[in-house]
Amino acid sequence: MTLDALNLMPVLPEILLLALACAILLIDVFLRDGRRDVTYWLSQAALAATFVAVWFGASADQRLSFEGSVINDAMSDVMKLFILLITSMAFALSRDYLKERDIQKGEYYILGLFGVLGMMVMVSAYSLLLVFLGLELMSLAMYAMVVVHRDDIRASEAAMKYFVLGALASGLLLYGMSMLYGVTGSLDLPAIRQAVMGGTASDTALVFAIVFMVAGLVFKVGAAPFHMWLPDVYDGAPTGVTLYMSAAPKIAALALLLRLLGDALGAMLDDWQTLLIVFAVASLFVGNVIAIAQTSFKRMLAYSTVSHVGFILLGVLAGTTAGASAALFYTLAYALMTLGGFGLITYLASKGLEADQLDDLKGLNDRSPWIAFILLVLMFSMAGIPFTLGFWAKLAVLQAVVDIDMVWLAVYAVVMSVIGAFYYLRAVKMAYFDKAIVQGMPTRSWDARLVMNVNGLAIVALGLYPTSLIALCASVFNAL
């Protein structure tokens, strides 16, 4: 196989990120513990360089490389750009938090870069082999990141739960993929699609393969009833790690769902649509109802993640271009909102105070009216209050569900959203109307302040004028 046949240009950003991550790994070995800011800035530079490579290499046309196992198209370009941007913001918001707990280690940033590499591979994977390779690269990096605070028993417990249950999910996914390969005779998604559409594969075996693969995928994203790991891991991991885990990986997971179910198994829509309906209904109920009983801000946001995953699944199960576009819009909006939510915890935390309880939000308006306003915007948007970014995202998904004549499912989602609004508004009430328990605000670095402000203003701007992001998501799938 020649280099011309491989066509390396579509994967140039991945090659660049891999080379830079390896270089930073070598440099970090020679740095003293007090100079980890060098690793931080090198990691930010690596993300920026990869962002530029993706931006200038973007193309509206589909490009295949490595004999069709890698695809580069508009969807992959948009997802990669957002993954890189959100990861860069997560690093900036986490730095002060890690410093104050003496856990600002080079491993956090280096593992984060390798995790991003895995996400980018997932987004461009057009073969079952690369799908699994990218997923495991991302997962293994995050397993290690959870336990970056080696002396914290809660972090160690969270890492063990995440590793064991994540390995179980990977096993389910791999078993489903092996069955799919067995009945279609190919690892490449286009060949699988042809085999399924041509009727050469056994329907019974395909259904079993779909069940195992969907179970493995929803396990990874934290959809109910496979959500049992998510609240414990999000709560037990250092908040800086939770911040990284909660946002960008959801974008990569959506790419897997769209590639595997939409591209390869589109002809089996009726089978996987039924499965996703069950998971979406369960996620909306479990996430919104159990979040009401939480006193921990981190656990509340973790259960809200389960409910948001339910909305993302609603867009995917529509099986239409509008549904895929709505799912992408919702995922990008959710990534920005959850980045702000967990980022707010790291922003308020100080040495000796985690700021991860709802009581820690009391009197926030007296301490910092601007940060309280950002909290208000975030909570309103997550709740789907009209004319916020979250409202437009929910509306797009509900419209896609109504278009396939599942009005009952849209009504159910609205009812669950109304129930979920309670715990979001409770956080706002504590910030504005309760007496403060904690006094003063911690000092934050300029980049953390910048990212926090930009994140809040972006959600406000996209809520007032969502057309640009909606049009971007629609153009991604109209170009396919």
**pLDDT value at residue 179:** 92
Residue 305 in tokens: 């993640």
Give the tens place of pLDDT for each residue, 381-391: 999 999 999 99
Residue 8 DSSP code: -
Main-chain dihedrals φ then ψ at residue 446, nearest 5 degrees: -65, -35
Within 8 A by CB and 6+ apart from 293, the residues are: none
**pLDDT value at residue 6:** 58
Please name the residue that has the structure tokens 């995050």: 142
Residue 183 in tokens: 């009945």
**pLDDT value at residue 439:** 79
Report the alpha-carbon distance of residue 313 to residue 172 in Å, rounded.
Answer: 19
Give the tens place of pLDDT for each residue, 203-243: 888 889 999 999 999 998 889 888 888 999 999 899 999 99
Please name the residue that has the structure tokens 């609205």: 414
Range of the domain at 318: 3-478
Report the alpha-carbon distance of residue 391 to residue 418 in Å, rounded.
Answer: 12
Please name the residue that has the structure tokens 């049992």: 228
Residue 291 in tokens: 């979040």
Q: Collapsing DSSP states into helix, strand and coil, what is residue 70?
A: strand
Which residues of the chain carry a pLDDT beneath 70?
A: 1-6, 200-201, 479-480
Q: Are 43 and 113 in contact (CB under 8 A)?
A: yes
Chain centre distance of CA 151: 27
Report the alpha-carbon distance of residue 416 to residue 67 in Å, rounded.
Answer: 46
Report the alpha-carbon distance of residue 163 to residue 236 in Å, rounded.
Answer: 13
Report the alpha-carbon distance of residue 321 to residue 95 in Å, rounded.
Answer: 39
Main-chain dihedrals φ then ψ at residue 85, nearest 5 degrees: -65, -45
Report the alpha-carbon distance of residue 230 to residue 299 in Å, rounded.
Answer: 9
> To the nearest 10°, the Cα dihedral for 15, 18, 23, 25?
180
List the one residue out of 416, 297, 293 whose CA is nearest residue 354.
297
**pLDDT value at residue 332:** 95
**DSSP characters for 321-352?**
HHHHHHHHHHHHHHHHHHHHHHHHHHHH-BTT
Number of domains in the chain: 1
